[in-house]
Amino acid sequence: MKSLINFKSALVVRSNTKFRKIKLLMCGSLFLFSFMTIGYRTISLAGITKPNPANISFKTIKSDLNKNLTRGNIYDRNKELLATTISTSSLNINPQEVLNKKNTIEKLLEIFPQLDEVALKTKLDSKKQFVNILREISPKEHVLLLNEGIEGLKIRVKHKRIYPNNNLAAHILGSTDVDGSGIAGIEKSLDSQLKNGKNIKISIHSGIQHITEKILFEQINKFEAEGGAGIVMNSKNGEVYAITSLPDYNVNNYSKVSDELLFNKATKGIYELGSTLKLITAAIALDSGLVEENEVFDVSRPLRVSSRTIRDFHPLNYAINIPEVIVHSSNIGSAKIAEKFGSATQLKYLRKLGFMDKMDLQIPEVGIPQVLMDRKLLSTMTISYGHGIAITPMHLASSTATLVNNGIKVNPTLFVSKTREKNTRVFSKNTSNKIKSIMRLVVKSKYGTAKKAEAKGYLVGGKTGTAEKLSKTGGYLKKQNIVAFTSAFPINNPQFIITVMIDNPKGQKFSYGYRTAGWVVAPVVKRLVTRIAPILNIKPQNENSLNFSQNLIQYEIRGKEKGANL
């Protein structure tokens, strides 16, 4: 019986031990499983699935940093900085936190002697909790403030748009408002891209821009003019290297500049640019086939049309052909050519050249041309020599480029072109070559009106224009002129266009009282070409050399003494 009991109890102990083992194993497994699950999740959350920070590429960090975007920079075509954003600190104070106002004022005046003591006291007596003391403080002043340990000071870091070149290309760059949004120029037209931190490269060449501004400024002063505009543009792809509108301003002080200075004369202002338009008249005549190349026009007598009499500045007493009309700048000849091809043809070509539309330039300050569209004979005639048609100097530069670019339209651009766009043809290649030949004669011929534009070796060709200034109340101001010169160089293979306009020059002693384009703007082009050609890698040519490309037509130009009386 005892042995049976022992056997039973032995069985119970064995089964208990086995059960305990199973229980322990199950608990252990469960515990381990739970621990591993939690562990895995903790590790995964802690970063095992994240890239190892030590291995994060600089690119990732950079893009991460760029989330806190500052406005993009603007560079010129050579990556020279034109506009950038920097961080600055502003000095503010909470008057309620200031314990000793007298002491605080003394300390602040020691660091910032420019502050007004009375104004500072008023600010500190204010019931407000946040008062601005200075909009901008230097890092050095910031350190001095920290060393003084003034209570209640609040230094706030803010972004500031700066233009390191001050006045350079002021009208093109434009500016931003206090919130950092573009309000003019490139800053406005490319605002969204710049706001997204994108850097912009424009086609402006800082060096050429400076030279253009300087030379034009000197000439404006020399002739006591009101202002002027200058454009340097690639004649093949329309890339603008310089746009000047004078007087200009320091872009860093944009908010304090008057509207008059902000006005962009080169792209926004529309002017009657006078005889420079005769080039287009000649091109229309030659291209349309409505006027014979050798046809002559009697310019010996003033031309009376309706109520108006058209006269020449240098009258000739014989009949002249198209090249002579341009070289002598005959209004009568030009009017008679226009009469031959008529209003419809004239307007068709002007439309093709973009003279009816606002130019598609990458800044908002673009003027809309005004053209007399009444199709009357008088209007056709006056338009032919640049009266009754008001365009921007940029329109003139663009049309000159089209004339010399084998007749293919050139659209000005402020960006460096990567691909050459296919543009429409306005004039034939043959017409373009004839016009280039005539343009060269305007400068080279002893009867030309732009002899002072001759820059030795650089083969300048162009056309002058002197027009009476339009009065704001209507009509013309007889004693005030707009003088312009549009040119291309080297004219046997044009690379660049230079268009210059000066507003209201006064006759000077050295100019024998003359204030015509030949005296005022032609010398500007000569100086400009001589200065910028080496920068643009354009080499001077020797017209007498055997290597010279003789691709221009040598028209014979007769002077006053050589003319045959009618």
Partner 1 sequence: MIRYPSFLVVFLIVVVGISLYQIKFFITQNEVALKTIKTKIVNAKSDLEILNAELSYLKRPDRIEKIALTKLELKEILPTDIWNLKDLVEATKSINARVPK
For partner 1, the binding residues (CB under 8 A) are 24-25, 28, 31-32, 35-36, 39, 42-43, 46-48, 52-54, 56, 61-62, 64-65, 68, 70, 80-82, 84-87, 162, 164-166, 168, 206-207, 209-211, 214, 455-458, 530-531, 533-534, 539-542, 545-547
Closest distance of CB 321 from partner 1, Å? 32
Are 329 and 275 in contact, with CB atoms under 8 Å apart?
A: yes
In the complex with partner 1, which residue's Cβ is closer, 347 or 491? 491
Nearer to partner 1, 108 or 246 (CB): 246
Q: How far is the CB of 533 from partner 1 (least distance, A)?
A: 8
Q: Which of 32, 419, 3 shows the shortest CA–CA distance to 238?
A: 419
Pairing of strands 81-93, 153-162: antiparallel
Give the bridge partners for 154, in sequence order: 92
**Which amino acid type is present at position 534?**
P
**How does DSSP classify residue 546?**
T
What is each CA distance from 208 to 112, 146, 266, 339, 366, in whole angstroms?
Answer: 41, 46, 16, 41, 22
The CA-atom distances, in angstroms, between 430 and each of 313, 318, 550 are 30, 28, 15
**Residue 50 or 479 having the CB closest to partner 1:** 50
- Minimal distance in Å, beta carbon 310 to partner 1? 39
Least distance in Å: CB of 196 to partner 1? 17
CB of 231 to partner 1, least distance (A): 18
- The minimum distance between CB 421 and partner 1, in angstroms, equals 30
Q: How far apart are CA 310 and CA 308, in angstroms?
A: 6
Please list, residue by residue across 295-333, b when 16 or more beta carbons sit within 10 angstroms of its beta carbon and e when fewer do. ebbebeeebebeeeebebeeebebbbbbbbbbbbbbbbb
What element of type H or E holds 483?
A: strand 476-489
For partner 1, which is the closer residue by CB, 193 or 541?
541
Closest contact distance (angstroms) between CB of 21 and partner 1 is 8
Q: With contact defined as beta carbons under 8 Å apart, do 242 and 209 qualify?
A: yes
- What one-letter code names the amino acid at 340? K
Output DSSP code: residue 388.
S
Q: Are 343 and 371 spatial neighbours (Cβ–Cβ below 8 Å)?
A: no
Rg (CA), the chain: 38
Q: Which of the 8 DSSP states describes residue 202?
A: B
Task: Considering the complex, state which of residue 77 and residue 214 has its C-beta at the smaller distance from partner 1.
Answer: 214
Closer Cβ to partner 1, 31 or 130, answer by number: 31
Shortest CB 47 distance to partner 1, Å: 4
In terms of Cα–Cα distance, which of 110, 196, 193 is closest to 145? 110
Are the C-beta atoms of 480 and 504 separated by less than 8 Å?
A: yes
Give the nearest distance from C-beta 167 to partner 1 in angstroms.
9
What is the spatial distance between Cα 232 and Cα 212, in angstroms, rounded to a whole number? Answer: 8
Q: Cα 309 vs. chain centroid, distance in angstroms?
A: 41
Single-letter amino acid code for the residue at 112: F
Min CB(249)–partner 1 separation in Å = 15
Nearer CB in complex with partner 1: 95/180: 180
Whichever of 68 and 147 has its CB closer to partner 1, that residue is 68
Which residue is listed with tokens 């048609």? 389
Q: Counting beta carbons within 10 angstroms of the beta carbon of residue 26, is it exposed (0 to 12), middle (13 to 18) or buried (19 or more)?
A: exposed
Q: Which is nearer to partner 1, 32 or 178 (CB)?
A: 32
Q: CB of 540: closest distance to partner 1 in angstroms? A: 4
Query: With respect to partner 1, which residue has the nearer C-beta, 32 or 373?
Result: 32
**Looking at beta carbons only, is 35 or 130 nearer to partner 1?**
35
